[in-house]
Structure 1
Amino acid sequence: MWRKEDWSLLILYLIPCLIFFSAPRTCAVDYTSDCSGGNYSRSSGIGESLTLLFSSLSSLSSSSNFANTTATARANADTTVYGLFMCQGDLPRSDCYNCINSAILDINRSCSNSRSATIWYEFCELRYSDINFFGIPVTEGHFTTNPYEETSSTKPYQVVSTLVQLAPSNKPLMFASNVSNMYPLFAQAQCSSDLSVQNCSVCLTTILAAINGCCVQRKGWRYFTPTCWVRYEPTPFFGNYPNATSPYIVRSQCASYDILSGEVSSKQDSLRSLLSDLQSNAPATGFYKTSVGENSLWMFGLALCRGDLAADSRECSECLGTAGAAIVDECPNKTEGFMWYGQCFVKYSDQNFFGTLDNSNYTYCSRGLVSQEIDQTTSAKALSLIPLAINNSWLFAAGKVAINDTLSSYLLLQCTRDLTSQSCQSCLEIGISQVTDACNQIKGWQYLSGSCTVRYETFPFYNETAAARILELQPEEGRGSSNVNTIAIALPIVGAAVLGVLLCCAWCIWRRRGSKGLEPIDLETVQDRDLTFMDLDTIQVATNNFSNENKLGEGGFGPVYKGVLVDGKEIAVKRLSGKSSQGISEFKNEVKLIAQLQHKNLVRILGCCVEEEEKLLIYEYHPNRSLDAFLFDRKNHEPLNWKSRFLVISGIAKGLLYLHEDSLLKVIHRDLKASNVLLDKGMNPKISDFGMAKIYNLDESEVDNTHRIVGTFGYMAPEYAMNGIFSVKSDVFSYGVLLLEIISGKRNGRAYVEQHGQNLLMHAWELWSANKAFEFIDSLLANRYEADQVLKCIHIGLLCVQENIEERPTMSEVVLVLRSDHITLPQPTQPPNFIKKSSQLENPHSSPMIPSSLHSINEVTESDAIPR
């Protein structure tokens, strides 16, 4: 749903990037050229002077990174030309020479007969004029930024400010660069050496002021004038990288949402404690995950060190300490963030993400080219390392391929150890595919995601000695081969112990379940997912033996109780009696499914209990209970303001997007409604009740059908209620109904039909069509809302409840529209009106809209599930 101009901007930005990554450092991208001052006559002699000038500058560039000189032909002062070149201060002389000679060729071609011209490359500049410009600062120039990445930190600007103060005194090159020790930044400030210290300072400070006024939060910017340059990048562009084992390959990502103002102090304390815990415990094995906090103030985090650091816990600890401090600086007061910092990785969130595949990623392509044969050999080697990585408990593999006598490819693959082997394999395959496409025939690349990394270099960037020790645990692949010298993998043998623990757990559960109890749960579907099997005695104590005082309510599944564990943690316990014939499949489905789904807008399951005749699910407790209580129970709850309602609308959309597209399992919820949306302390929505959910392996455009209709009337899509056909668009329909309920404060049910003579959807449609949409808004909002935002939400809701499946948007499109104010939406069509008579609502199972052969007892209901 991008606009045409968005794609144009992206293409304009990517073209120079692609050229830059595919070009050697000695002759990188021509950013721009400036031809001015009019043209000279062929007979004036200036052309001859320029020939002499370029020859002189070419010669000087082989021994210096800066030179300015003049040239005069025919002993005529009128033919004098002035010229200079400037290379990046650290550029090797040979690279400077190649860059300047390329610039001479290009400036002759692009600025033919110009009296004055300047051309800028990635690492050098060439300038000439028939007017003396030496020593005169020029502050107007060219500005480029990365428009698609932002940072919350002001550290880049602070580092560049320091460099601007240092550069004028660094003669003769007037060059200063810096890599921050605390926060890895690459920054440069440089003046042409013909300027005085004062004029250099004027040039640089003027540029700095321009950056401060527009682009402090951009991840990468460059301002270059004919007399000075200022540049910042989050990746290396100076020094001898990549010809050394630099640790400064950095990738960070922060959540787009802030910690609630009332929780900032507590969550910051939790985060500091978490990072300290990670730094203390991760070096022992190279990986550690934990959580700290209480109630709604939990923080979850993990730390990972590169596999070859197993022999050096001190280096691992130091890296994690620096990365932890850097992520706090990069993501101030953000609910989640992660940072790859060279040899280690740190990730935190206020939601449990353990075991969830995170494909948010960054690809870095190095400089220099290799042949297609070398590129293909390296890619094939990377793929061959995947089985080695996923079949050891460290989820790590490294290898070296000898290309020829002088060139080798070094590869490293690694996943965070909270992932299953299957998830790790998926992450690595995606990474290798993306990075090899983006960095075709490039000498060195790196893929960094929230769950794995893949890296290739033409130099040994990892500890080969440590890798050689680990190699002893596995047979060496290709020993004696001319193409493969070593394969380094890590394989600590802990599989037998893990298997023993799982078998023990399975035996205990089998012993405890009654003869009429639940069938054994397949532990493989929940292992390593932080799903705790709790004993019945603990739950009975927590709930005061399921007393009525602790009962929160009762739904189709069974009663729900509040409990308090011995450590003070509050829980919600969903209880299904072992004697009940209802809900067993739903119980098994929820245990297997929700343990593998982790998102801030999904309810979090803490554990389960299968003992004697009890089947219990234990969830995190939310004091605000469910959304329907706030929308429809006005006597016992304060009405939601518009800000809270929009937070709920956006959060539910993000949760559904995760289920449909971003989770490891692709899930259709099938029972989305107000009572199945819980609200935490900060009024953030949590989608709950996955007993009726279905896992699917279909494209989002495809559908499936069932003879078992489940869900709630009023929220069910017509194709599902009538024919049992369901898809992700069925959930989209339910979301549209829920969105309209949130806006109107009215339930789409029998009472609404009796009052208005039609269902909520048709009423919204008629008011929208008559340009009376504001009459649909909950009167309790009392005009305290953003009119454009409310109208957009009504528009989205009507698009979601269209009868034609193809005309409904996907959840990814819904999320995009909610975030943007500049997307034009199509006009909705009339929603279905398949609930026409209140008598049909009195007895939904007799509805003529549903064939009798599809009925099933107690599955399609008009009742509301009780909040937990």
Structure 2
Amino acid sequence: MAVIMKVVVFLLVLAVLMAPFPAAADIFCDNVKVVADALPKNTSASAVHFATSTVGQAPNVVYAMSFCRGDIVNDTACAECVASTFARIFRETPPELECYRDASYFVDCPVFYSGDNDTLAPFSATDEQEPFERWNINVITGDDAGRIVGLIRELLVQTVQRAASAAPLRFATGTMDSGTNFPMVYSLAQCTPDLSAGDCLACLQRLVGKINATMALRMGAQIHVMRCYFRYEAYVFYDGQPMLRINGSLSPAPTPEPTTTPTKRKSKLWVIPVVAVPLLAAASLCFVFYSPCFKRYRRKGKATRAGSRRTQDEDELVLDGKNSDFSVFDFEQILDATDNFAEENKLGQGGFGAVYKGHFPDGLEIAIKRLASHSGQGFTEFRNEVQLIAKLQHRNLVRLLGCCSQEDEKILVYEYLPNKSLDFFIFDQDKRALLDWSKLLAIIEGIAHGLLYLQKHSRLRVIHRDLKPSNILLDGEMNPKISDFGLAKIFSSNNTEGNTTRRVVGTYGYMAPEYASEGIFSIKSDVFSFGVVVLEILSGKRNSGSHQCGDFINLIGYAWQLWEEGRWADLVDASLVPKSHSVEMMRCINIALLCVQENAVDRPTMADVVALLSSETMVLAEPKQPAYFNVRVGNEETSITGTDSCSINDVTISVTTPR
């Protein structure tokens, strides 16, 4: 008995001695969570979108740093971007670890934290930190390969020099036109703003030195260390006009002076979008610029018809327009960009006209919407709405570049997005295989952030009313951008609900029940649509249509049945292999079912949705029986819709009277 007692005492002592170790680990991870909560706000509040943080006491102190890519000028977008990076770090932490002791994540908004302050020490010329490298798998070939490689190197050299000299941001972008059929090449370089010009240049030059004779043939690369990085690609991957341009003779073309602060880095020809901003409002936008188009581009001696009828209000709006992110283009510029609307440049046919791909001389790829007819709406009705939409800025929203109005031509110019719309991928068994779970989750999160911006962070509340996969476009890196604001409703910041006495517009399969039956819409209407889209992304099935889902005739009912029976994994498309990310997938289904609740009051807000998506520990409510539990919901649209097999987007346009 004495021996047993000694063993018990020994074990108790051992347990007491070992107890501090897991507790210490918990304290460090708790400090990491404090950093993750504070750093997004601190970074976005900084004039240069850069912040450091120290939390806790030794030996559990956490040193952290984050910054936003220089073209992310919006404070809200910067905060969301940093928060998203932390969410990725936590998501990719192995289940057996509560958190990493050191973490580095190189994305648009890099985040670094460590328990060792020396890890985040300022750069020095002798720094031997091993760079993170990611290379484009495509290779430059052909007789001009050597010349193009030389042009790219010259582009990178000038870009890093421009970044190093650009105080205080230490950020620059560029583009190169080889003068051949080779695509335009785009470059970006950035250092943390706390580096001197000399240290920034030394840091970037060391990274550029990684491009040896073999790797120089690659068509793109990203190379990072903690304090600096650069990237180049044969497609546009940043917002804003390039700060420098290289032509085929290796001589830089005249470029704007480097910018100094985020608030001044406004671009007139960028931050542009693709086939989907307020098409009703967009048609009016051309009227907004009607007089400038004629005044600037018609031949001398011809009367300016609109000019003679302009009111004082119109003069004020035109003046505002000159200072906005919209541009007024000459019709000749549009003809040159599209090769006279050549058939081979036609991307598709929408409800209000054809869409063409075009190129401006500076290499900017654009999508041009040639309206088939005037909208018929007056100037006054849409003036305030157009000015608002022109100022919407978020990485997950598609934006309009400008317009041209000349004689009977009414033309809208958008950013060209190469990967079409979300439905093109998720409903095609072969193409959805190109999207792994991490990319699909990033798309879901991106859509949520875009809706949150519309509902909370833009100047007025914007209710989209037609959110669906075909209205979510994908850029070159498969980042989602919400498009087509033709049916959007806009409210003052203290309003949350509206009602239409005219016919309901939108697509029934994505329409909240209170809107479909009573014409009542609110911010919760878009939450419902978001829930449907998430279920479609996860399952690869359409909510509406002729296909039955198990014993049910719509996807919502099928998802609810599986959830009730504990067989939620059967909802997930087989290509995603639920076993590897089962917890995340189950949470997404839970969130989606909360979004499609029958009563709007039971649905979460988009702020709630974003928080739930970014956390693995927040407790989720149990969903109730959803709307349309066992009702056929067709995919009919209550408005004119034009689609084409090669269309980059199906555009839904209301033909009701003005809002």
- TM-score grouping bracket, smaller chain normalisation: 0.5 to 0.7
Distance 2:594 2:642 in 1: 24
Between structures 1 and 2, the one with greater strand share: 1
> Higher relative CO (CA 8 A, sep ≥ 6), structure 1 or 2?
2
Contact 2:559–2:568 (Cα < 8 Å) also in 1: yes
Contact 1:802–1:829 (Cα < 8 Å) also in 2: yes
Closer, same or farther: CA 549–415 of 1 in aligned 2, 3 Å? closer
Residue 613 of structure 2 aligns to a residue in which SS? helix
**Equivalences for 1:697-846 in 2 at 5 Å?**
697-699=492-494, 702-707=496-501, 709-752=504-547, 757-781=552-576, 786-833=581-628, 836-837=631-632, 841=634
Q: Which runs of 5+ in 1 are unaligned?
A: 18-121, 123-140, 153-212, 223-229, 236-247, 249-257, 307-314, 337-348, 355-394, 397-413, 421-503, 846-857
The one-letter code matched in structure 2 to 1:607 is: G
How many Å apart are 1:741 and its aligned residue? Answer: 0.7
C-alpha distance after superposition, 1:289-346 (max 9, x if no partner): 974237797567899999xxxxxxxx9967986998999743555999xxxxxxxxxx
How many Å apart are 1:639 and its aligned residue? Answer: 5.8
Residue 264 of structure 2 aligns to a residue in which SS? coil
Closer, same or farther: CA 679–748 of 1 in aligned 2, 3 Å? same
Aligned-pair identity (%): 37
Closer, same or farther: CA 544–568 of 1 in aligned 2, 3 Å? same
C-alpha distance after superposition, 1:365-419 (max 9, x if no partner): xxxxxxxxxxxxxxxxxxxxxxxxxxxxxx99xxxxxxxxxxxxxxxxx973247
Residue 692 of structure 1 aligns to a residue in which SS? coil
**Equivalences for 1:432-471 in 2 at 5 Å?**
none
Contact 1:278–1:290 (Cα < 8 Å) also in 2: yes
Contact 2:557–2:629 (Cα < 8 Å) also in 1: no
Tell me the residue number matched to 2:292.
Answer: 508
Residue 751 of structure 1 aligns to a residue in which SS? coil
Structure-2-length-normalised TM-score: 0.57
Distance 2:65 2:192 in 1: 25
Contact 1:759–1:835 (Cα < 8 Å) also in 2: yes
C-alpha distance after superposition, 1:529-569 (max 9, x if no partner): 44332221222232233344322222334322222334443
Distance 1:837 1:506 in 2: 46
Contact 1:705–1:724 (Cα < 8 Å) also in 2: yes
Closer, same or farther: CA 297–805 of 1 in aligned 2, 3 Å? farther
Could you tell me which of 260, 273, 293 is aligned with 2:175? 293
Contact 1:744–1:776 (Cα < 8 Å) also in 2: yes
Closer, same or farther: CA 773–297 of 1 in aligned 2, 3 Å? farther
**Equivalences for 1:201-280 in 2 at 5 Å?**
214-215=101-102, 262=136, 273-278=158-163
Distance 1:526 1:287 in 2: 28
How many Å apart are 1:820 and its aligned residue? Answer: 2.5
Tell me the residue number matched to 1:352.
Answer: 239
Contact 1:803–1:830 (Cα < 8 Å) also in 2: yes
**Equivalences for 1:139-150 in 2 at 5 Å?**
142-146=58-62, 149-150=64-65
Could you tell me which of 661, 683, 708 is aligned with 2:478? 683
How many Å apart are 1:667 and its aligned residue? Answer: 3.0
Residue 509 of structure 2 aligns to a residue in which SS? coil
Residue 136 of structure 2 aligns to a residue in which SS? helix
How many Å apart are 1:634 and its aligned residue? Answer: 4.7
Distance 1:288 1:608 in 2: 33
Residue 597 of structure 1 aligns to a residue in which SS? coil
Structure-1-length-normalised TM-score: 0.45
Distance 1:563 1:12 in 2: 46
How many Å apart are 1:772 and its aligned residue? Answer: 1.9
The one-letter code matched in structure 1 to 2:161 is: S
Q: Which runs of 5+ in 2 are unaligned?
A: 1-25, 39-55, 68-99, 105-110, 123-131, 140-148, 177-182, 207-222, 242-258, 268-287, 299-303, 650-659
How many Å apart are 1:826 and its aligned residue? Answer: 0.7
Closer, same or farther: CA 572–142 of 1 in aligned 2, 3 Å? closer
The one-letter code matched in structure 2 to 1:705 is: N
Distance 1:301 1:610 in 2: 37
Residue 572 of structure 1 aligns to a residue in which SS? strand
Tell me the residue number matched to 1:435.
Answer: none
Contact 1:264–1:333 (Cα < 8 Å) also in 2: no
Distance 1:812 1:418 in 2: 29
Distance 1:270 1:733 in 2: 47
C-alpha distance after superposition, 1:801-829 (max 9, x if no partner): 11222322222332232232222211111
Distance 1:613 1:783 in 2: 54
C-alpha distance after superposition, 1:228-286 (max 9, x if no partner): xx976989xxxxxxxxxxxx9xxxxxxxxx99753999999977644533555x57xx9
Tell me the residue number matched to 2:226.
Answer: 330
Contact 2:549–2:558 (Cα < 8 Å) also in 1: no
Closer, same or farther: CA 526–784 of 1 in aligned 2, 3 Å? farther
Tell me the residue number matched to 1:867.
Answer: 648
Distance 1:287 1:142 in 2: 33
Contact 2:395–2:481 (Cα < 8 Å) also in 1: yes
May I ask how many residue pairs the two structures share in their alignment? 473
Residue 403 of structure 2 aligns to a residue in which SS? strand
Contact 1:737–1:801 (Cα < 8 Å) also in 2: yes
How many Å apart are 1:834 and its aligned residue? Answer: 8.2
Contact 1:220–1:232 (Cα < 8 Å) also in 2: no
Distance 2:161 2:546 in 1: 55
Tell me the residue number matched to 2:264.
Answer: 417
The one-letter code matched in structure 2 to 1:276 is: Q
Closer, same or farther: CA 588–274 of 1 in aligned 2, 3 Å? farther
How many Å apart are 1:745 and its aligned residue? Answer: 1.0
Tell me the residue number matched to 1:60.
Answer: none
Tell me the residue number matched to 2:52.
Answer: none
**Equivalences for 1:12-31 in 2 at 5 Å?**
none
The one-letter code matched in structure 2 to 1:262 is: N
Tell me the residue number matched to 1:484.
Answer: none
Distance 2:583 2:103 in 1: 30
Contact 2:467–2:526 (Cα < 8 Å) also in 1: yes
Distance 1:231 1:638 in 2: 42
